[in-house]
Amino acid sequence: MHRVRKRSKQRRWALDLRLSLLVLFTLSWLATESGTSVLLAGFGTGLLVAALGGPKRLFTQVRGLADGFFVPLFFVLLGARLQLGALIDQPSLLRLTLALLLLTVTIHLLAARLTRQRAPAALIATAQLGVPAAVVTLGLQATVIAAAQGAAIITAALASLGTATLGTARLARQAREAGAERQAQPAAHR
């Protein structure tokens, strides 16, 4: 196997990537046929690659393929299934969106306080998109949530990205202020 990988690298065959994609598509087909989520196929393929100890370049190749194609495709397909208009039509969904966002921020602020972290760091940690997207995808497939509820969950997740941006800006401002204070201190106090 080592010799085949070496030859693949020398000849730029990307054999590890090709085999990983073959496993991914096979598991995806099995997941579709058995009525489970394709997300599980991706997870299973990741576990297999980790267990086999794929080369470091495989991570880069898979990451490029995922970020450049599969992740955008996933979010486009998910977005096409959601009913964003329902957020405006149904005030209860707006309340759900706001409640999810407030709970996310509150939980992270409490965790930061318990672990003696700064509040801006907690705001940065509120950034959520992967797990809510997976929850909505699985919930829609299992028909345990409606497309309108999925829209509320994803909207709250997107708003958490805005909260993380505020935390980043606040943390950067605090760092600049601390640097300016250090510069302003006389050399004798250092």
| Terminal C-alpha separation, the chain | 58
Residue 138 has pLDDT above 80, yes or no: yes
What does the DSSP assignment read for 40-82? HHHHHHHHHHHHHT--HHHHHHHHHHIIIIIHHHHHHHHHHH-
Ranking 46-50, 85-89, 152-156, 173-177 by mean pLDDT, the lowest is 46-50
Q: What does the pLDDT average to over 110-127?
A: 93
pLDDT at 85: 86
Number of other residues whose CB lies within 10 A of the CB of residue 45: 20
Q: Residue 126: exposed, middle, or buried by beta-carbon count in 10 A (0-12, 13-18, 19+)?
A: buried
For residue 27, give every residue at least 6 positions away whose Cβ sits within 8 Å of its Cβ, in sequence order, or none. 40, 41, 42, 44, 45
Q: What is the DSSP letter of 90?
A: -
pLDDT at 168: 92
pLDDT at 4: 73
State how far the Cα of 91 lies from the Cα of 88, in Å rounded to an integer.
Answer: 7
80: closest CA among 34, 140, 129? 140
